Amino acid sequence: MFSADRCSAVLAAIRERSPLVHNITNYVVMNNTANALLALGAAPAMVHAPEEVEEFVALSQALVVNIGTLSTPWIVSMERAASVAAARGTPWVLDPVGAGATALRTNTAVALAHLRPACIRGNASEILVLAGATTEKTRGVDSTRSSADALAPARELAGTTGAIVAVTGPVDYVTDGRQCVGLGNGHPLMARVTGLGCTATALVGAALAVEPDRFIAVAAGLSFLAIAGEIAAEKSPGPGSLQLHLLDALHQLDAATIARRLKIVG
Amino acid sequence: MFSADRCSAVLAAIRERSPLVHNITNYVVMNNTANALLALGAAPAMVHAPEEVEEFVALSQALVVNIGTLSTPWIVSMERAASVAAARGTPWVLDPVGAGATALRTNTAVALAHLRPACIRGNASEILVLAGATTEKTRGVDSTRSSADALAPARELAGTTGAIVAVTGPVDYVTDGRQCVGLGNGHPLMARVTGLGCTATALVGAALAVEPDRFIAVAAGLSFLAIAGEIAAEKSPGPGSLQLHLLDALHQLDAATIARRLKIVG
Amino acid sequence: MFSADRCSAVLAAIRERSPLVHNITNYVVMNNTANALLALGAAPAMVHAPEEVEEFVALSQALVVNIGTLSTPWIVSMERAASVAAARGTPWVLDPVGAGATALRTNTAVALAHLRPACIRGNASEILVLAGATTEKTRGVDSTRSSADALAPARELAGTTGAIVAVTGPVDYVTDGRQCVGLGNGHPLMARVTGLGCTATALVGAALAVEPDRFIAVAAGLSFLAIAGEIAAEKSPGPGSLQLHLLDALHQLDAATIARRLKIVG
């Protein structure tokens, strides 16, 4: 069962071991993602050349693949890195940004989802598309559907891929196909900062690097961001301040804060 | 005629409709641009693969093309996306970063300028180069000339391309080839933050997405940034603080602030 | 001899001449690097297309080459730009990010190191690898060794390449193969912000653009960042705040602050 204690134990392990998290992610969020991983206590690296991704995966404790600013040469690297990670038993996380918006995105996300990710984290629209539960066009990279709508398809997707599936939104849901947990932390202002979903995915990568129970790891990674974002938003007049306070809050996050804040909603 | 009321009406329409703004822009400013669009109330997406730009333009209410960190594969996508946008009647904006510095930049900017952009926004040096009014080498991405120097060439460029042309600097000028407006907001410290010109271009994209009068839309987009930047700079000891306060000020921008601050200088 | 006076003279020259610094650097740090150069008083540009790098080097007063998010097409541009800079006598700086982590990184860094850089700036692991003093795998982009360990190999590398070699860490060492200076400014929280090493390299580029004594220039460039980072960290509860205050501190840096803060440790 996910709990504040389990969540804090994952945080302590990240700080203790400082896992190397290999990211193949989009240009928009590379800087923020690296900073969020550092603030939490992990060691990020952004490496995407097809000539070196296999070698780099072998050095890493987790891999994050995010299709945000997709292009054909990067797809080669993503598939190569994911395959090596799966073969080595290194946990890897898929962020299917914009699946459903274009054929390139949908096809790439579907292909990657079948390379045994430890976790798939998306918004409701993206998860519905990956689960084959809709063929409607999504609107850019934003969800047009609520997280709850995607819950049954998320369970199914977990079943067919073997991944823990996380659907994020005002409430975040995590499922392995059987058990499910809802997480109620966060703040509406977080939606006015670009790439916080991508950051959540990266923090899930750090959690998977140290926690063998994947369900617990995914819930913990999402909770780190949602709690820090909530703390940051409460003191922010706008999204510029939120970004700054978010990194400070991740750096200062501790077991007492998690115990006081964590909102498990079923 | 451009006025505080017209400017505020554009802002209200952006907040109301949250237009999807498709950006093919440079690596340096992707994150800031996305955050500025979100802070204003628009929905940004950064998508550049030649295989998907046409499909993505069709989902979008405006397109922004910025040649900052140019390379050959991106030029293909820029031309393809701009052509589709023009054909569909989707407004698109050109930011000819560094035109005049190298042959690649000048040639690319000139070719794009003839694909019927709704607006071309540049500094004085870039607009002079595009108008064919100079062949002197510009110094990197900074202007070596004043906005006023570029005013006559800007009118001419508007005439030959059909675009609204904006020349930004201490005073921003907007012209459709006949009418012209000067905008006096802003602050010198803004020049110490990278890519605020690129951000202005992106906000013009958001304005064009909702306002059919292109002259008003361009003036409004520039004013949003100049007013928010001025507010931010007044409370900033340096450019780090300015960036944070700028996003907060865009988020908090409202009709009363526009009415109080907007400086139309002729 | 390096001193606070020599350091301040370099700063004054940067502010006076605003040198154009051409960067071929990684996606993660492009925005921060540009902002740090602007805050200091230099004029940054990020330009990487093989078709234009030679032309752009010719406009610039210094070149910075950073292999952070390496890929084959960028290696072509890096080698071409570095060769032109060396041939023209334009100083260029190499940042061998992650040398030792993969064969691609090590081979690229070694090849670039032989194109007559004015300076090579790396962490201890990277410098040991370039000096041929170790074949152990480094852990991603972080150093697994202390700066002092790399001092003798750094002297040797300076001898074989003709570059000033800087090894950064808790203490930064600068050597031309004979003389050596240790610099003790900085703060542990700086390691929780991504890419501050890359930023140091870029500021060294700005210093080399204006100061013909390369040993002094490199020590000055590193000192600007270490002093500003130290000032920023002292007022920061976490790494988000540090980033903001760092840019403000670079903007506000002056001779009095350098005289009061600079810590030469031997």
Instruction: Name chain A contacts of B76, Cβ cutoff 8 Å.
Output: none
Instruction: Name chain A contacts of B247, Cβ cutoff 8 Å.
Output: 238-241, 243
All residues at 6 or more sequence positions from B101 whose CB lies less than 8 Å from its CB, including other chains: B137, B138, B139, B140, B141, C45, C55, C56, C59
Check: complex ipTM more than 0.90: yes
B107 touching C, CB under 8 A?
A: no
Closest residue in C to A247 (Cα) is: C240
Mean pLDDT value of segment B236-260: 98
Contact A48 C69 (CB under 8 A): yes
A158 in any annotated domain: yes
Pairing of strands A180-183, B20-24: unpaired
Q: Give the neighbours of chain A: at least 3 Cβ pairs within 8 Å.
A: B, C
Model pLDDT for residues B78-92, shown as the tens digit of each residue? 999 999 999 999 999
Model pLDDT for residues A45-99, shown as the tens digit of each residue? 999 999 999 999 999 999 999 999 999 999 999 999 999 999 999 999 999 999 9
| C15, C21, C30: best to mutate for the B interface, most B CBs within 10 A | C30
C-alpha closest to that of C150 among C172, C178, C174, C127:
C127
Counting one residue from A and one from B, how many pairs have CB atoms under 8 Å apart?
Answer: 100
pLDDT at residue B49 in the model: 97
The alpha carbons of chain C give a radius of gyration, in whole angstroms, of 16
pLDDT at residue B231 in the model: 98
Burial class for A128, CB neighbours closer than 10 Å (0-12, 13-18, 19+): buried
Instruction: Name chain C contacts of B31, Cβ cutoff 8 Å.
Output: 31
Residue A197: give the domain boundaries. 4-261
Contact B45 A237 (CB under 8 A): no
Instruction: Name chain C contacts of A250, Cβ cutoff 8 Å.
Output: 238
Percent of chain A's residues with pLDDT above 70 = 98
B232 in any annotated domain: yes
pLDDT at residue C147 in the model: 82
The answer, yes or no, to whether residue C138 has pLDDT greater than 80, is no
Q: Please name the amino acid found at residue A208.
A: L
A266 in any annotated domain: no
Domain count, chain A: 1
Closest residue in A to B251 (Cα) is: A238
The answer, yes or no, to whether residue C57 has pLDDT greater than 80, is yes
User: What is chain A's mean pLDDT, rounded?
Assistant: 96
C266 in any annotated domain: no
Query: How confident is residue B68, by pLDDT bands cut at 50, 70 and 90?
Result: very high
The answer, yes or no, to whether residue C134 has pLDDT greater than 90, is no
B266 in any annotated domain: no
- In angstroms, the CA A112 to CA A255 distance is 35
Write down the residue that tokens 């670009």 correspond to.
Answer: A194
Q: Cα distance from C236 to chain A (closest Cα, Å)?
A: 8
Nearest-by-Cβ selection for C46 from B27, B192, B239: B27
Which letter does DSSP use for residue B244 in this model? H
Instruction: Name chain A contacts of B252, Cβ cutoff 8 Å.
Output: 237-238
C155 touching B, CB under 8 A?
A: no
Q: Cα distance from B237 to chain C (closest Cα, Å)?
A: 6
pLDDT at residue C142 in the model: 72
Q: Give the neighbours of chain C: at least 3 Cβ pairs within 8 Å.
A: A, B
Give B136-182 as a DSSP string: SPPBTTB-SS-TGGGHHHHHHHHHHH--EEEEESSSEEEESSS-EEE
Q: Give the neighbours of chain B: at least 3 Cβ pairs within 8 Å.
A: A, C
- In angstroms, the CA A27 to CA A25 distance is 7
Contact A44 C194 (CB under 8 A): yes
B209-213, long-range: CB within 8 Å, 24+ apart, which pairs?
B209/B14, B209/B17, B209/B19, B209/B20, B209/B21, B209/B42, B209/B60, B209/B61, B209/B62, B209/B91, B210/B10, B210/B13, B210/B14, B210/B16, B210/B17, B210/B19, B210/B61, B211/B9, B211/B10, B211/B13
A266 touching C, CB under 8 A?
A: no
The answer, yes or no, to whether residue C148 has pLDDT greater than 90, is no
pLDDT at residue B145 in the model: 79
Q: Cα distance from A180 to chain B (closest Cα, Å)?
A: 31
Determine contact, residues B170/B161, Cβ cutoff 8 Å: no
Contact C46 B69 (CB under 8 A): yes
The alpha carbons of chain B give a radius of gyration, in whole angstroms, of 16
The answer, yes or no, to whether residue B157 has pLDDT greater than 80, is yes
Neighbours of C160 (CB within 10 A): 13
Nearest-by-Cβ selection for C56 from B68, B101, B240: B101
Instruction: Name chain C contacts of A244, Cβ cutoff 8 Å.
Output: 240-241, 243-244
| A35, A235, A236: best to mutate for the C interface, most C CBs within 10 A | A35
Instruction: Name chain C contacts of B72, Cβ cutoff 8 Å.
Output: 49, 51
The answer, yes or no, to whether residue C123 has pLDDT greater than 90, is yes
A74 in any annotated domain: yes
All residues at 6 or more sequence positions from C233 whose CB lies less than 8 Å from its CB, including other chains: C187, C188, C189, C190, C242, C245
pLDDT at residue A186 in the model: 98
C-alpha closest to that of B177 among B160, B192, B193, B201:
B160
| B247, B250, B257: best to mutate for the A interface, most A CBs within 10 A | B247
Q: Strands of C62-66's sheet, edge to edge? A: C43-46, C20-24, C62-66, C92-95, C119-122, C164-167, C172-175, C180-183
Nearest-by-Cβ selection for B104 from C38, C52, C60: C52
All residues at 6 or more sequence positions from B199 whose CB lies less than 8 Å from its CB, including other chains: B29, B32, B33, B36, B225
Model pLDDT for residues A180-207, shown as the tens digit of each residue? 999 999 999 999 999 999 999 999 999 9
Mean pLDDT value of segment A200-221: 98
Q: Which two tokens stand for residue B94?
A: 């050109």
- In angstroms, the CA B164 to CA A216 distance is 55
B192 touching C, CB under 8 A?
A: yes
Domain of residue B121, CATH code: 3.40.1190.20
Q: Which CA distances in Å does C124 have to A59, B129, B247, C129, C193?
A: 19, 46, 38, 9, 18
Contact A245 C240 (CB under 8 A): yes
Which letter does DSSP use for residue A95 in this model? E
Q: Which two tokens stand for residue C19?
A: 């040198």
Give helix B30-40 / helix A239-252 axis angle, nearest 10°. Answer: 120
pLDDT at residue C158 in the model: 98
Taking only residues 46 to 85 of chain B, the set having a beta carbon closer than 8 angstroms to any beta carbon of chain A reads 46-49, 51-52, 55-56, 59-60, 73
pLDDT at residue A9 in the model: 98
Q: Which two tokens stand for residue B194?
A: 């990278």
Q: Cα distance from C206 to chain B (closest Cα, Å)?
A: 15
Nearest-by-Cβ selection for A31 from C28, C101, C141: C28
The count of residues in chain A is 266
pLDDT at residue B73 in the model: 94
pLDDT at residue C130 in the model: 96
pLDDT at residue A134 in the model: 75
pLDDT at residue B146 in the model: 81
A111 touching C, CB under 8 A?
A: no
Model pLDDT for residues B114-152, shown as the tens digit of each residue? 999 999 999 999 999 999 987 676 777 777 778 888 999
Closest residue in B to A192 (Cα) is: B38
Percent of chain B's residues with pLDDT above 70 = 98
Determine contact, residues B27/B198, Cβ cutoff 8 Å: no
C133 in any annotated domain: yes
Q: Which two tokens stand for residue C70?
A: 């390496």
A252 in any annotated domain: yes
pTM: 0.97
Buried b (16+ CB within 10 A) or exposed e, B77-88: bbbbbbbbbbee
pLDDT at residue A161 in the model: 98
Contact B243 C248 (CB under 8 A): no
Instruction: Name chain B contacts of A28, Cβ cutoff 8 Å.
Output: 30-31, 34, 46
**Is the torsion defined by CA of A196, A74, A122, A2 positive or negative?**
negative
